[in-house]
A and B are shown apart, each in its own frame.
Chain A
Amino acid sequence: GAVVSQHPSWVICKSGTSVKIECRSLDFQATTMFWYRQFPKQSLMLMATSNEGSKATYEQGVEKDKFLINHASLTLSTLTVTSAHPEDSSFYICSASWVSSGLTDTQYFGPGTRLTVL
Chain B
Amino acid sequence: AQTVTQSQPEMSVQEAETVTLSCTYDTSESDYYLFWYKQPPSRQMILVIRQEAYKQQNATENRFSVNFQKAAKSFSLKISDSQLGDAAMYFCAYRRLKKKLVFGKGTKLTVNP
Per-residue interface assignment for chain A, residues 75 to 117, with 1 indicating a CB less than 8 Å from any chain B CB and 0 otherwise:
0000000000000000101010001001111111101100000
Type the 1/0 row for B79-113, where 1 means its CB is closer than 8 Å to any CB of A: 00000000000010001011011011110000000
At the interface with chain A, which of B18-26, B39-47, B63-71? Answer: B39-47
Instruction: Determine how close the nearest CB of chain B comes to the CB of A37; give it in whole angstroms.
Output: 12
Q: Are A93 and B33 within 8 A (Cβ)?
A: no
Contact call B100/A109, Cβ cutoff below 8 A: no
A-B contact count (CB 8 A): 50
Q: Are A106 and B45 in contact (CB under 8 A)?
A: no
Q: Give B13-42 as 1s and 0s: 1 = Cβ < 8 Å from A's Cβ atoms.
A: 000000000000000000001010100001
Given A43-B105, A99-B98, the answer on whether A104 and B52 have CB atoms closer than 8 Å is yes
A95 to B35 CA separation, bound complex (whole angstroms): 14
* Other-chain contact of A49, B33, B44, B45, B100 (Cβ < 8 Å): B100
Which residues from A are CB-within-8-Å of B35?
106
B43 adjacent to A43 (CB under 8 Å):
no
Whether A104 lies near B100 (C-beta < 8 A) is no
Contact B91 A43 (CB under 8 A): yes
Report whether B43 and A112 are in contact in the complex, using a CB–CB cutoff of 8 Å. Answer: yes
Kindly list chain A residues whose C-beta atoms are within 8 Å of the C-beta of B47.
106-108
Residue in B43, B91, B103, B106 whose beta carbon sits within 8 Å of that of A111 in the complex: B43
Q: Which residues of B contact A105 (CB under 8 A)?
A: 97-98
Q: Nearest-CB distance from A2 to chain B (Å)?
A: 8
Docked Cα-Cα span, A106 to B35, in Å, equals 9
B103 touches A44 (CB 8 A): yes
- Residue positions of A touching B, CB distance < 8 A: 32, 34, 38, 42-44, 46, 49, 91, 93, 95, 99, 102-109, 111-112
